[in-house]
Amino acid sequence: MAEIHNLETLKNGGYKDAPLTSFKLTCSLPSFPLEIFEFGSTLTHLDLSGTGLSSLPANFSTALPNLKILFLSSCNFTTFPSVLSTHPNLSMVAFRSNRMTSIPEDSLPLNLRWLILTDNLLPSLPSSLGTSCPKLQKLMLSGNLLTSLPESMSSLANLSLLRLSANRFSSLPKWLLALPKLAFLSFAGNPCSAPKSSGAKTPFGLEHVPYSSLTIHSPPLGEGASGVISRADWARSPAYSEEVAVKVFRGRLTSDGTPADEMAACLAAGSHESLITVLGKIDELPAESDRGGAGGGGGGGAGETVGGIVMSLIPDDYKVLGRPPSFDTCTRDVFPDSTREVWKARGEAAVAEVVEMLIGLAGAGEHLHRRGIMHGDFYAHNVLVWKEGKHALLGDFGGATVYAGMDGRDEQEEGEEEEEEKEDKFDGSRLEKLEVLAFGWLVDDWIGLLGKETAEESAPQEKGMRKGLEELRDRCVVEDVQGRPTFEEIVEVLEGMMGWRAMMRIPEVPN
Ligand SMILES: Nc1ncnc2c1ncn2[C@@H]1O[C@H](COP(=O)(O)OP(=O)(O)OP(=O)(O)O)[C@@H](O)[C@H]1O
C-alpha cells in the first residue's frame, strides 16, 4: 500500500490499462471519486486516509466486491457507513481519528476480522456487534468514550486482541475475561485501571534523574509510537558517568493507549533479568524546543512531551525475535525465512537455549502480574534475543495496564470496602491467564522456528524437551481460561525440563 496515486491521473483514466489491486490517495477529497469504481472486482486494498471524506456512495459494496482492506483514518466520518454492512469480503476496516459518535446496529461487514476505531468519540457500540461480525479477531477501541461493551461480544470466539485504553470503563464484564482466544488486552487510562500511585510519583527504588545530568546523543537509537529513544551519558556523580538509553514519551494516543500510561507501567515494572531495567525518571524535562533537538526531537514531530525515563542500554547484538502480524495473519507474528534459517543453523543446542529464554520470559510475566501489571502485548516481535541465544528481554510497554496498586502500601491504605469494590472490577488471576495464552502462542512460534526436520534427528534429551514444550504450549492455549497454568507454574515446568536434561547428561557409570 506504499505507493500514493494521483487524483488527476485517476480522473483522466490513466490507471485504466493496468487494473490496480491496491489504490491510495492522500489529497483532500470533497467527495468519493467514482472513477475508483472502474477498478471493479480487481481492487482488494483501498486507502483514502487523510482525505477528509465523510461518506461513501450507496453502491460502494457492489462496485468493489473483492475489497479486503479499507483505510479511512484521519477523515471526517461521524457515523460508521451502513453501506459497508453488505460487503461480502471486507476483512479489515480502519476509521482511526475520525469524529465518529455512532455505529448503527448491523452496519458492520459480516466477514470483518480487524476493526480499528481508535481515537473517536464513541459513547457506545451496537448491541449486535458480536453477532454482526462473528469472525472478529482484532478490535482497536482506545481513545473513545466507552463505559461498557455489548454482551453479544461474549460470543466472539476468535477475538484475540482488544484495546480499551483511554476510555471510561469503571469495570470490565466477567464474560470478557472468559473469552477463549483473548490474549492481548489493554485497558490503561480507565477509572477501573488507575492505581493511586501510578503517574506522577517515582516508585520506590528508582532514581530522580536531573535532566542536566544527561548528555543526549543524536541521531536517536529508535522511535516507537509513543516516543524517541536516544543513547545518553548519565553523570551519576562528578567522578563518573554511565552509558544509558533515554526514552522521551510524547504524543496523545497510540493504538495501544497513551504514552503517559506506558510510562507509568515502565516505572511500575521494577527490575527483572528479562525486562529492560529502568534506572530512573527524568526530573523537570524541558520543553522540546529547549532540548536542542536531542532526546525527543526526532522525526514524526507530533505531540506534547509527557515525561522521560532512563534505562539500561541494550547492546546492538540483541535482535527482535519476530515481526508484527501481517494483514493475513492478523493476530499472529510473522517470521521471515532468514529468521528460520538462523534458528535451524543453531542445531540441537537451540532447544535448551529456547527453554532457558522462556524461563526468563515466563519469570518476567510472573514478576509483572505480582505487581498488578498486564503487559498486553506479549508477542515475539516484542522479545529481544541475544545473538548467542540464552537470554531474551521482553520490551514495549505500549499496551501495558497497571491494574492494581504497585506496592502493598497503597492497597493496605484502601480499606476493606474499596478492596471489595476492586475485586468486583476484575479478577487479576484471570488477567494473568489471558497473558498466559499469549505466552503459549510465543512457545508455539518458537517450536515452529526450531523446525520439524531437526526434530527427527535430535538426541533423546532434545526430543524430550521439544515434547515438553509442545505439552506446555497445549496447556497454555486451552480455551478454558481458568484451566491454564499461572506463570509461576510455567516457570516450574520449564525449570523441570532443564533439570531433566541435566540429569540425562550425568555420565553413565560403567559396570
Ligand atoms: N534500552 C534501550 N537500549 C537501546 N535501544 C533501545 C532501548 N529501548 C528501545 N530501544 C530502541 O528503540 C526502538 C524503539 O523502542 P520503543 O520501545 O519505543 O518502541 P517499539 O516497541 O519498537 O515500537 P512501538 O512502541 O511503536 O511498538 C527499539 O526498536 C530499539 O531499537
Q: What is the CATH number of the domain that holds 303?
A: 3.30.200.20
- Determine, yes or no, domain membership for 259: yes
Q: 486 and 394 in one domain?
A: yes
Give the end of a domain, one of 277, 294, 312.
312
- Determine, yes or no, domain membership for 403: yes
Q: 377 and 303 in one domain?
A: no
Q: Is the peptide bond before 219 cis (omega within 30 degrees of 0)?
A: yes
- Is any ligand 1 atom within 6 A of the Cβ of residue 229? yes
Q: What is the pLDDT of residue 301?
A: 44
Q: 481 and 348 in one domain?
A: yes
Question: 23 in helix, strand or coil?
Answer: strand
Q: 236 and 335 in one domain?
A: no
Q: 303 and 214 in one domain?
A: yes
Mean pLDDT of 218-231: 92
Closest ligand 1 atom, CA of 320? Answer: 29
Q: Which residues contact 447 (CB under 8 A, 6 or more apart)?
A: 466, 469, 470, 473
- Is any ligand 1 atom within 6 A of the Cβ of residue 267? no
Mean pLDDT of 39-67: 97
Q: 364 and 307 in one domain?
A: no
Residue from 206, 203, 161 nearest 182 by CA: 161
State how beta strands 214-216 and 227-235 pair: antiparallel
pLDDT category of residue 405 using cuts at 50, 70 and 90 = low
Q: 290 and 397 in one domain?
A: no
Q: 392 and 246 in one domain?
A: no
Q: 325 and 255 in one domain?
A: no
Residue to mutate (ligand 1; options 229, 255, 393, 397; most atoms within 8 A of CB): 229
- Determine, yes or no, domain membership for 362: yes
- Determine, yes or no, domain membership for 1: no
> In this predicted model, what pLDDT tens digit does every residue of 279-336 receive, in sequence order?
999 988 887 767 665 444 443 345 688 899 999 999 999 999 999 999 999 999 999 9
**Contact predicate 49/71, CB 8 Å:** yes
- Is any ligand 1 atom within 6 A of the Cβ of residue 320? no
Question: Which phi and psi (to 5°) does residue 503 adopt?
Answer: -60, -40
Is 11 annotated for ligand binding? Answer: no
The proportion of the chain whose per-residue pLDDT surpasses 70, expressed as a percent, equals 86
Q: 344 and 402 in one domain?
A: yes
Q: What is the pLDDT of residue 18?
A: 77
* Domain range for 480: 318-504
Per DSSP, what are the bridge partners of residue 227? Answer: 224, 249
Number of domains in the chain: 2
Q: 290 and 427 in one domain?
A: no
